[in-house]
Structure formats: C-alpha cells, structure tokens
Amino acid sequence: MAGTSLLDTVTSVFEQAASKLNLDPGVRALIGSPEREIAVTIPVAMDDGGLATFRGYRVQHSSARGPYKGGIRYDTGVDLEEVRALAALMTWKCAVVDIPYGGAKGGICCDPKALSKRELERLTRGYVNMMDPLFGPQVDIPAPDVNTDETVMSWIVDERSERGALWSRASVTGKPLVLGGSRGRREATGRGVATAALHALRRLGMDPVGRTVAVQGFGKVGSWAAKFLHDAGCKVVAVSDVSCALFREEGFDVSLLTEHVSGAGAGLLQGYECEGMCEIPRADILTLDVDVLVPAALEGQITADNAGAVKARIIVEGANGPTEFAADEILAGHGITVVPDIVANAGGVVVSYFEWVQNLQCLQWSMDDVMARLDALMTKACDEVWNTAAREGCSLRTAAYMLAISRVAEAAAARFSSIPRRGG
C-alpha cells in the first residue's frame, strides 16, 4: 500500500474506528462525509498587466459540534481530494481535544513563491470574495496553513471588514496581535507536539531528561517542538528541512539553530555549522536510533516501504498524516508507540480557539495564561486517548479516532433525535 493518498489513510482509520464503535451505518455515512465542498475560479490581475486564474477550494466537513474550523494553504499540490482529507482531519482533531468546532479546510492551487506580494494579496482577496458568504465567526473560521501566515489573515480580515461583515476579527484566527491575534499562536502547534511527546515519555516510564529526539521539518511546527523539548531536557540530535539533514550525537543548541534559520540561513538549515555535526541523507532522519521521532514536514513520510527500518521508540506526528495506514501495523509490530496527528499537532487549533474566544469577548490573555490553558487541555486530551487505548486494547490512533467519532456522533444524535449512535 505504499503511496497511499492522505484521503485513503484518513478514510481507512475512520472506518476502522467506526467499526470498533459499532457505529450505525447511516450515522457513519453522515459524519464521515463532507457536508459541503466548494471549488471556485479566482481571476487575478497580475503585475505585468495580464490576467491569471487560479483554482480555490473549501471543504466544510462537519458542523455537528460547532462552526467549521480549518486553515487555508497555498501550494501547487492543492486539489479537492487533499482538502477533503484535511477537512476530515480537522473534524476529528477538534473533537478529540474537545473544543466546540467542526472541521474544514481550504486552499488555492498556486506557487506563492512565483507571485509578488501584491499578486498574493489580490489572490487572497479574490478567494475571500468567492467564499465570503460561507465565512463568519459562527459559520466558518479560517486560519493559516502551508505557505500562509498572519499577513494573509490580515488581508482576509480587511476584505471582510470592507464588505461590512460584523465581527470580522473573530471570523479569522492566526492574526497579528494588533488585529486581535492571540499571544502564543506562533508557538502553539510545536508546543502541543512537545507536550504530547513529554506525556508519552512519562506514560512509558521514560524520564525526558537526556532522551534523544530527531525532528523532520525544522519549520513553523518542528522548530518550536525542538525548542520546547530541548528546554525540557531532551537532546535534539537530528533536524532536517528541504535543504539538508543534520546530525550531532551530543545534541544541538536549538536556539543557535533557530538563530541561523531566521538570519543567515534565510529560512533554511543549509549552511549551519558547529563542532561535531555532520550532514546525513534527508531520508535517514526517519530511521535514526532515537527515543522520539517528530515527523513535522509533509504527509506520507512513513510508509510500508520504510516503516520496518524505523528505530524510534516513540513517533509524535507534528505533520498531518505523516504515517500511511499500511505503516501503522508494521510500527506496532516493532513495539513503536505512535502519538497520532489529530492529538499531537492539535495545539494550533486549540490556541486558535482561544483567539476566537478572546475576540468574541473583546479580551486579550497573557502569554502565561494561554500556555497554561494549552498545556492543560493538551494533557487532558492525551490522558483520555491513552486511557481509551488501554481500555479498548487498541493503538493510540484508533483510540483518538474512537473518542472523536463518538463525540461527533453524539452531537449529531442530540441535534437529530431520530439518529441512532450505534448499530445493532
């Protein structure tokens, strides 16, 4: 099954967990399928005077538990199937950490690096113009994702405000502080990954101090995860990004790595130097003999082809769908614990939820308050998943999906009293 798509992986895990729950077939079809899928063509006036068109998408997977929630990504690989899979992941992610959202995802098929800032702004405003009736603080709340950031979110806020939308700030998260963003949002996903990793180590009776860590993808998620794990006493021995993979047996000073990437490295690890370090093939970072592996790059990194070579004791999924369905059984056979993406990388949507709450109440919490709330919510979710796995005799991934699916099914049943939750 090597090369399985993200949608196939998400669907397979959903079906496995739904069967274990003995979920009614009608309910399974209802909550397992997107409620709405939108594909649009966006015209953009280019800087050279020409006109270009781009395909944009938004999939609203579930509103059973609350407004749709999910990021918007700009990438050449964006298509309806990918967005559909990511929207489903958002539904289960919000449900497993028990925040009052449904799931959605959006994207535009484009190469953002080939567009000027003005062209990106026109593209963003055009996307909002097409999707605006579907966005709103009680309807659908976008956020940053791959190749989008707080600047893009600012354009969305402004476009919605110019169109007379009420509570436009609360209809977008991941904004800069001056426009109602939340403290801690940049760190949130990586912080959540680190919290899940430290929780797993302790659950397995392993003192975090001195435990070795490899991080694939030293970007918005991986760099923060590395920092917080380093601060907790772990030894980050390997890091990688699109430019290279670096290994240092004594461990890296993560602050120096971050300083290089944000300065001389121009966003990349390439060119970083320190004593005792060597460069390794990028693929090798997945098979290093470490205590914790954090795949925080792209989906489909651990497959049936390479899962047998993975030596990490614990995998904590920083990216969405980094492990293909066929690889899970192989990893389990080797005694490797996998903390699934819908739990491990939920810190971002948790703090997005905090941002939304602050906007609606016209408040702004302190960094300490945000981090304390994030840590508490992530720890609670991790405990619930681990306890479910122990009770049901299943993997953490299956347990996480079982928790999420049961919560969404319960919400659907409460809204429509004739819906059964379990089959006969």
> Catalytic positions, please?
105
**100 CB-contact burial (10 Å; exposed 0-12 / middle 13-18 / buried 19+):** middle
φ/ψ bin of 53: left (φ > 0), alpha (ψ from -120 to 50), beta (otherwise): beta
The tokens of 250 are what? 């004594």
Q: Within a 10 A sphere around the Cβ of 163, how many other Cβ atoms?
A: 12
Distance, CA of 238 to CA of 256 (rounded, Å) = 14
Close Cβ partners of 161 (under 8 Å, ≥ 6 residues apart):
168
> Taking a C-beta distance cutoff of 8 angstroms, is the pair 23, 419 a contact?
no
Do residues 61 and 95 lie in contact, with contact meaning Cβ atoms separated by under 8 Å? Answer: no
Beta pairing partners, 108: 56, 74
Is the distance from CB of 26 to CB of 52 less than 8 angstroms?
A: no
Residue 378 in contact with residue 353, Cβ under 8 Å? no
Q: What is the DSSP letter of 302?
A: B
Q: Which amino acid makes up residue 196?
A: A
Task: Put residue 348 in one of left, alpha, beta given phi > 0 → left and psi -120 to 50 → alpha.
Answer: alpha
Q: How many residues are recorded in the chain?
A: 424
Query: DSSP states of 330-344 as a string?
Result: HHHHTT-EEE-HHHH
CA distances from 390 to 96, 106, 386 (A): 16, 35, 6
Please tell me the distance from the alpha carbon of residue 37 to that of residue 58, in angstroms, as a whole number. 6
70 within 8 A of 35, measured Cβ to Cβ? no
Residue 339 pairs with which residues in a beta bridge? 316
The pair of three-digit structure tokens given for residue 252, joined into one six-digit string: 């890296």
